[in-house]
Amino acid sequence: MKGYGGGRAGKLARSVAEDAWHEGPTTGQLLAIPTQEEAPRYSRQTKTVLRRWKDAKGKLYTDYLLSTLTDLTADQIAKLYDERAGMESGIKGDKRGLGIENRRKKSFFAQEALVLLAQLSHNLLAYFKEWLLGATDAGKLGMERLLREVLAMPAEARTTRRGTKLSLKVPELHPWAEALAWGVGARFPPSRWRAILRKI
């Protein structure tokens, strides 16, 4: 986790000698480990890693990371923290795509049900994307674009009376129509399901 409080981060940074800073895994980022006397103490053993960097205008920033993974090096801890960006963007994409960004439930059980439904929806959509669109460019889309661009595509589905054959007509000018048609053609035998590019 990242420790908050600019004053504490600045105090920790001043306690570290200039030659103790070293280049971190991110370009332009310097890392250092404060002395045990200066580092914040908690009931559980932690490791503190100081980070220092400058923005495009040359302004200096300092913060610190706290980790219970005390066997890791400063570089490993900083890299693990930096990798959180991918998870955070995925969570934000899920919230926006599934429409649960601004939904709040007062009851704990309602909140729990909402989270479980969101997890189920995410897993089903991730499976669908990999299974049907994994070999196409649409397989690289995030959850939000998958829902808004691919699954919101207008289409016509027709089936025979016995339901043994299905024809899916998709708009030929839609940017993801070809990917969807290719996925249906690859996953289903031509004698049962087929996708046709047509003007709808």
Report pLDDT for 167: 79
Report pLDDT for 124: 92
Note whether 139 and 162 are same-domain residues: no
Note whether 6 and 74 are same-domain residues: yes
Note whether 8 and 66 are same-domain residues: yes
End-of-domain residue from the set 41, 64, 82: 82
Containing structural domain, residue 170: 153-198
Report pLDDT for 191: 57
Note whether 94 and 73 are same-domain residues: no
pLDDT band at 43 (very low <50, low <70, confident <90, very high): confident
Instruction: Tell me the average pLDDT across 60-87.
Output: 86
Edge-first strand order for the sheet with 166-171 is 156-159, 166-171, 193-198
Specify the length of the chain in residues: 200
Give the separation between CA 125 and CA 49, rounded to whole angstroms.
38
| Rg, Å, the chain Cα set | 25
Note whether 8 and 76 are same-domain residues: yes
End-of-domain residue from the set 147, 163, 189: 147
Structure tokens belonging to residue 28: 């332009």
- Total of domains in the chain: 3
**150-192 tens-digit pLDDT:** 888 888 887 777 766 777 788 888 899 888 888 888 877 665 5
Note whether 125 and 142 are same-domain residues: yes
Note whether 75 and 143 are same-domain residues: no
Note whether 112 and 139 are same-domain residues: yes
Statement: residue 36 has pLDDT above 80: no
